[in-house]
Structure 1
């Protein structure tokens, strides 16, 4: 076993901010990564969308690394290390953890600090936070999770800048500088996988080398004060068999958006459509238009349709009711799960 701890990079960012898109680009540039994907809820989608190549990918479903699945994260990190040492996995040189869009990234550092075995074998290299140039300002206003992710970052990566106006991007950049003047600020489109090699041991160095947006002074990072409020983001998921007509899907999506209103924070799914060989990828963020993309094939041969919705509010049963309406509207069988 190597005596040098394996670096761990956390990729975080609010729901729908483009983490998986960035992860896929980096997986295409590097073959020495092990990836852990943390999903909010029991039905995973992101791990199906990740470009695997030769990288081992582990899924942590059912909650956030900052709370419900800390024990699972410990086990996953231990198993990855032991499999690497035994030669059962490629000799990866870095672990990249993609958190849920609701996670507090400081939960990852807590896992490493509290477990002596892990602390000797892993070290947290950096926290990278994606921020949606279109929806980021609204997320920061509405969701404390988005604020935690921004204040924890060593590097803030602006995504979807091509879909936002220049003044909108500039206003968001100024807001991010105020919230976390210690972090580097860059456009995600220009951030290659070499960013994962940057050493930022809990003190962010501002070099300006990533983009002209960088500003601020290097300061020792402290976690933000705990609010004690817990998450107000609630997921629900549904699986079913059988293809549906495209026009019925459009009608069901429109009805779901009407029923959910402003409480719908994230919608994503892989759905079998009549006359399509692969699934239709469905994605939406808050009030943004639904994005539909046909995929050439089902990931890993799993051709179950699946839909995940995430709601904001005080009623954790609300997204389950949305999916029950969805099931009835599309006349899905009672054994849909």
Structure 2
């Protein structure tokens, strides 16, 4: 189906540890009519790509395999080139034949540099937009995997949507255990259980609705900045991961906060720049919707590692209370230091 070339192409990044069920999810989704104009880029570690042979093929779905190694390791040469080429490689009569892109990464891929590339690569600017990060979690093995594998924790922490697979293989106690681990790593992510016969397209395509994304985040996140800071000092684990690890700076930690007042634009920019300089690669991701003085619309903020990206805007606030929300995902940082930075932002806001 020919598509208009106007506007950036939405990209969904699909991650998940080895054996979690990413290919199963893609197969099911591509069988639905709503996904017919989706191009899938599949990455596999190693020289011989096999995963793309397992993905459902049709005249509409276009599969581009990347077999030159892990996508996070060859990000500049491989992924950027692929995204540049597909708009003309999969075109007819000057019109591209897809309206969205799904990137399925190897189970050993770190999402952070991929997100960084999609948000900040100059060659992709204006041509693609990152809609969401979807992480598949294997309920049968997740509990042990999350304890053992740092990479699995990073994949969960960076997700906008967690898709829970293999529910039929676990009992209620195991599911609850995994649910608590996931909450410790990422309270803000939406969750979806991958049930047999369930339609996937409505959930995956709704992730492109920025209003809906942030509204869902609001529904799952209730703590404000001062409440989190208070809890931290009482060792209740303000967004802490996996028992005491996050409190001692040895694991991934995701913190969700409310920013109740409009921020001074220059101060916000300075604070973000300083945060990125201080945290560097330990800042896995920052995402926020904030009120900024002098701007009528809600501002969308993204930062990954060393870089803050240009602010975006929403046409309307995703929730009735026009107060900001911010998620900060870090690794190997002492929670007390992170909260000190957040308090500096909060004190500055109240002092303006």
Coarse TM-score class (shorter-chain normalised): 0.5 to 0.7
Aligned to 1:175: 181
Q: Does 1:35 align with 2:44?
A: no
Alpha-carbon distance in structure 2 between the residues aligned to 1:185 and 1:103 = 21
Q: Is the 8 A contact 1:19 1:98 kept in 2?
A: yes
Q: Displacement, 1:224?
A: 3.1
Alpha-carbon distance in structure 1 between the residues aligned to 2:81 and 2:5 = 19
Aligned to 2:192: 186
Aligned to 1:147: 153
Aligned to 1:133: 139
Q: In 2 relative to 1, CA 109–160 (structure 1 residues): closer, same or farther, beyond 3 Å?
A: same
Q: Displacement, 1:80?
A: 0.8
Q: In 2 relative to 1, CA 121–145 (structure 1 residues): closer, same or farther, beyond 3 Å?
A: same
Alpha-carbon distance in structure 2 between the residues aligned to 1:61 and 1:175 = 33
Q: In 2 relative to 1, CA 39–132 (structure 1 residues): closer, same or farther, beyond 3 Å?
A: same
Aligned length: 223
Aligned to 2:23: 20
Alpha-carbon distance in structure 1 between the residues aligned to 2:85 and 2:145 = 35
Task: Please list every run of 5 or more consecutive structure 2 residues that lacks an aligned counterpart in the other structure.
Answer: 223-255, 257-324, 334-352
Q: In 2 relative to 1, CA 56–226 (structure 1 residues): closer, same or farther, beyond 3 Å?
A: farther
Deviation per residue, 1:99-124 (Å, 9 max, x gap): 11011112222222332231210000
Aligned to 1:220: 326
Aligned to 1:205: 214
Deviation per residue, 1:63-97 (Å, 9 max, x gap): 32222344210111011122345547862111000
Deviation per residue, 1:133-181 (Å, 9 max, x gap): 0111111111111011000000111100011111101110121012100
Q: In 2 relative to 1, CA 203–138 (structure 1 residues): closer, same or farther, beyond 3 Å?
A: farther
Q: Does 1:47 align with 2:56?
A: no
Q: Does 1:121 align with 2:127?
A: yes
Q: Displacement, 1:207?
A: 2.9
Q: Displacement, 1:191?
A: 5.7
Q: Does 1:108 align with 2:114?
A: yes
Alpha-carbon distance in structure 2 between the residues aligned to 1:226 and 1:68 = 25
Aligned to 2:71: 65
What RMSD in Å do the two structures reach over aligned CA positions? 2.7
Q: Is the 8 A contact 1:41 1:61 kept in 2?
A: yes
Alpha-carbon distance in structure 1 between the residues aligned to 2:209 and 2:326 = 11
Alpha-carbon distance in structure 2 between the residues aligned to 1:201 and 1:156 = 17
Alpha-carbon distance in structure 1 between the residues aligned to 2:137 and 2:210 = 22
Q: Is the 8 A contact 1:64 1:100 kept in 2?
A: yes
Comparing 88-97 with 46-55, which one deviates more in the overlay?
A: 88-97
Q: Displacement, 1:45?
A: 1.9
TM-score, normalising length: structure 2 = 0.58
Q: In 2 relative to 1, CA 48–101 (structure 1 residues): closer, same or farther, beyond 3 Å?
A: same
